[in-house]
Amino acid sequence: MNKLSVNNTEINVVRINDEDYICITDMLKAKDGEFFVTDWLRNRNTLEFIGTWESVYNPDFNVNGFEEIIKHAGLNNFKISVKEFVEQTNAISIMAKAGRYGGTYAHKDIAFEFAMWISPQFKIYIVKEFQRLKAEEQKLLGWSAKRELAKINYLITDHTSFYERYGWEFLCMVQGDGEPEMTRMYIHR
């Protein structure tokens, strides 16, 4: 699990089906006053955005269930929980997660819109922090991939005849840290 840090607020990020989901419950800590995810979810514009997103990315989205919800959106007495919304629409963009690291998680596209509800400034900061996190992950992946490739393609050994017989080519002599002797390095092409 990764964390974003925005305005002294730690925000959990999890990967689900190769997609990033951001804890919008954590994001609420940055908003002044007593607010809940249901306050945001009852907004008609919020629901229309989520419905559009679901229509594009979720082939199992229950449009009929969504249309029933949207009929009531914006009315003073309308309130819907994340759990109810997911049950009625089969939504994948938002989910309530129980237990350790629990809370309401939203796909990054939805979470960035939620950040705008908190404030335009907060949205800018969270997008910037998320981009920093992704760049850091890519750097680590690049380093790891290079390291694994190097492990596969290079061999340092004193067993010369065996490896030369099986396609390994002598590259150079190397000396490890603290090693008194030089050793042969081979490459497999």
Convert the pLDDT of each residue in 36-50 to its tens digit. 888 889 889 999 999
Per-residue pLDDT at 104? 92
Tell me the percentage of the chain whose pLDDT exceeds 90. 38
Same domain (yes/no): 165, 83: no
Same domain (yes/no): 140, 177: no
Residue 179 has pLDDT above 90, yes or no: no
Same domain (yes/no): 48, 90: yes
For tokens 């939805």, the residue is 110
Residue 130 has pLDDT above 80, yes or no: yes
User: Long-range contacts of range 76-85, CB-CB < 8 Å, 24 or more positions apart?
Assistant: 78/42, 79/38, 79/42, 80/38, 80/41, 80/42, 81/38, 81/41, 82/37, 82/38, 82/41, 85/41
129 vs 141: which has the higher pLDDT: 129
Same domain (yes/no): 96, 167: no
Domain count, the chain: 2
For tokens 């596969």, the residue is 152
Per-residue pLDDT at 101? 67
Same domain (yes/no): 25, 111: yes
Same domain (yes/no): 33, 97: yes
Same domain (yes/no): 123, 172: no
How many whole angstroms separate alpha carbon 154 and alpha carbon 35?
57
pLDDT band at residue 150 under the 50/70/90 scheme: low
Average pLDDT of span 140-146: 60
84 vs 3: which has the higher pLDDT: 84
> Which residues form the domain of 173?
158-188
Q: Among residues 55, 37, 19, 182, which one has the least CA distance to residue 113?
A: 37
Q: Is residue 179 part of a domain?
A: yes
167 vs 146: which has the higher pLDDT: 167
Q: Is residue 152 part of a domain?
A: no
Same domain (yes/no): 140, 164: no
